[in-house]
Amino acid sequence: MENATTEVRNLKANLREKTQLMTASEINRTLVRLAHEILERNDGVDSLVFVGIKRRGVPLAERLAGKITEIEKSAPPVETLDITFYRDDLSTVDQKPVVQAAPAFSVEDKNVIMVDDVLYTGRTTRAALDALLDHGRPRRVELCVLIDRGHRELPIQANYVGRTVQTSDPEVIEVRLREVDGEERVMLCERVA
């Protein structure tokens, strides 16, 4: 886990900001729109559960659930999904847990809205689906992302998209949320040597 943290720090040090894609108020308006779309397609909040993919998917899921609570006066549950040990890019097998703890929540027969900040290759979503199935067999799973930047490696598509941004491979979308980063904005960055 320490190597992953160091890797993320090094990646951020090698990024140059190009342009701001969304302000705090634009993020908020987008989440309001997404909340309405989710309610329309799911006909309310009955049997609905939000599952945020760790890290930035969690505060986004909590905010969406909060907006739905304001609209419907009924609060859907929000769960956290840690996909660390389900990723296909772990460098060594011995990093996987020998024994997994019992699932902390159940999605059995629920309509699950999986929430993440950026949809890119689809590998994070694939890992999240694997992790989610350890929590039961949902009735339906839908994906909600703040940003879809394309470049899929797997046949995965979001049901709810805040904004679609065309990017090139050296570009990176940086979503910064106050709960995680202490600031609120979405940036288009570029990797530098």
Contact between residue 15 and residue 192 where contact means Cβ atoms under 8 Å apart: yes
The pLDDT tens digits for 123-138 are 999 999 999 999 999 9
The pLDDT tens digits for 35-89 are 999 999 998 899 999 999 999 999 999 999 999 999 999 999 999 999 999 988 7
| Lookup: tokens for 105 | 């929540």
Task: Tell me how far apart the alpha carbons of residues 123 and 126 are, in angstroms, rounded to a whole number.
Answer: 5
56 DSSP assignment = T
Full set of structural domains in the chain with CATH: 24-89+105-169 (3.40.50.2020)
> Tokens 């899921």 identify what position?
61
This prediction has a pTM of: 0.88
Task: Tell me how far apart the alpha carbons of residues 127 and 30 are, in angstroms, rounded to a whole number.
Answer: 26
